[in-house]
Each structure stands twice: as structure tokens, then as C-alpha cells.
Chain A
Amino acid sequence: METTSTSLPHGAAGHPTPAAEPRLAGDLAIWVFIMAELLAFGAFFAAYAFTRANNIELFNAEQAGLDRTAGAINTILLLTSSYFVVRAVQAAELRAARAAANWLLAAIVTGLGFIVVKLGEYAAAFAHDISLSSSPFHMFYLSLTFFHFMHVILGLVILVAMWNNARQGRYGPGNMNGIETGAAYWHMVDLVWLILFPLVYVIH
């Protein structure tokens, strides 16, 4: 999107005026991929919601056994990690490569926090003999959260690659595509969790 960099109008104080041309942040390919991911998660959520509607008592009883505090902590961790990625992108826009790298590292650490909490949750579930075949609720709980968990892991791999690039000063006002593309994916992982958590852990 470098084509607009020299033609942006400037305000009275000499600062660039806000986004004149609408622009998608990140590569078009990642957005097509994100739409496919959202469709898959959306189908999964609908399947859960309607299976639950036909098995209310079973779903309510087994949902009560989930650790909502761990889920809430993970919500805070993902929201915070997403915020750190926003700060990294903002830093890259201002040519602050070192700051961008540090924000990305903070995002990786909070993302790893999500993994640790989730693994603790799975360990507790398996200790109680919860499995894919133990009930329709557990099938949905394990498959939905694990499908999301795999996205968190892929997101963390992407964040590490972005951190490495940021440390080498590869991102800046003329080269935002890479960091914006990775950021869009990480925010998608957060967005999906913001529906998955209330749907599977809370709504009863």
C-alpha cells in the first residue's frame, strides 16, 4: 500500500490526515483465510447451540463442571495479548522497531499463558475421565476448545516469526504488510474465543 505514502494530504499542523482511502490491514490472502476460519467456527458454534437445545439438562449439568475462572483468566490473557499486538503494529508505524519487538514478545508471553492455563484445564478434565466419547457435551467441549487451541499454537508460531522480523528492523511505515497480516490472524483467534467462552462455559 506504499502507493498512498507520497500522496497523502496534510493538515494545517503538518500531520497526515486520518485514513483518506479505506484499506484492508494485512494481506488479502490472510483475510480470505480468516473468512474461511470464521465460517468453520460459525458452523461449529451453530452445531453446539442446537445440540444443546435438544439436550438442555445434560449440557447444563456437565457445563457446571467446567472451570469458568480458568476460562475468564484465558479471556483476559488473549485480550491482553491482542492489545500488545496492536501496540506492536502502532510502534512499527512509527518506525520504533525495538518497541515493536518488545510488544510482540509481551504478546507471545501472554499467549503462552493461555496455553499453560488450557493445558491445566485439559489435565484436570482427563483426570476426571472426560473424553470425546464420554458425552455429547464433552465431545463439543473438547473438540471446540482443542480446535481453537491449535489456532493459538499456530498464532504463536506466527508471532515468533514477527518478533524475529521486528528485532531485525524489517517493519516500518513502508513495510507494514507482514506485521499487519500476522496481527489480523492473532486478533481472529481472540475474536473466536470471545464467542466460544461464553457459549460453551457460561450460557446455560
Chain B
Amino acid sequence: MDTHMHGTPKRATWLWLSLIGATLLTWGMGTHGAAGTWAIAALAAISFWKGAVIILDFMALRHAPLLWRAITMGWMILVWAVIAIAYLKGLGQ
């Protein structure tokens, strides 16, 4: 059993603090009236990054066979792409 599979406590703590910071940032953007396509794009990008941290680091897929990493990251890319297409479709209504 390799002891590095799940990283170090220090790295996990920094990632967790970054995730909380990103959450507070997007929450602050919302409460200060950030709106429009660019604000939504920033929110989606930050949310995507948070998901990537969960997949690659917390789920430890960074150290998994490529196929599993590709399927899981591919799922998230596909979901956000569908959300983006639907959002842009809605703008044209």
C-alpha cells in the first residue's frame, strides 16, 4: 500500500481552505449583485475547478488508471457543457 495515495494532511487542508474561499467568493459575488453572462461564466469556471479538486484529490482519481479519471472528468465537462448550451439557448428567448 503506497502511503502517498491520498496525499498529505497539509495539501488536503490547503485544498479545503481554497474550496471554502472559492465558495465565499461566489457567494459574495451573488450578494453584491454580480449578474450577467460573464458573472455566470466565472461562477461556472469556479464550480468546475471545485469539482475537479473533489474528483482528482479527494476521490484520489489523480492516482487511478487514466480511464476512470477520464470518465469522471468527462462526465463533469459534459454536464457543464450541456448547462452552458442550455443557458445560451435561454438567452435567445
The interface of chain A, by Cβ under 8 A from chain B, is 1-2, 4-5, 8, 15-25, 31, 35, 38-39, 42, 45-46, 49-50, 52-54, 56, 68-69, 72, 75-76, 79-80, 82-83, 85-87, 89-90, 93-94, 173-174, 176, 180, 183-184, 187-188, 190-191, 194-195, 198-199, 202-204
Contact = CB atoms under 8 A, between A and B. Distances in A.
A80 B61 CA distance: 19
Nearest to A6: B1
Given A76-B23, A187-B59, A203-B40, A83 B5 contact: no
B16 A45 contact: no
By size class, the interface of chain B is 35 or more
Top 10 nearest A-B pairs (CB, nearest first) are: A49-B86, A83-B16, A53-B90, A25-B60, A18-B4, A72-B27, A53-B89, A19-B63, A173-B1, A22-B65
Contacts of B27: 68-69, 72
A68 B33 CA distance: 13
Nearest to A16: B3
Interface of B: 1-9, 12-13, 15-16, 19-20, 23-24, 26-27, 30, 35, 40, 43-44, 47, 50-51, 54-55, 57-61, 63-66, 68, 71-72, 75-76, 78-80, 82-83, 85-87, 89-90, 93
A204 B78 CA distance: 20
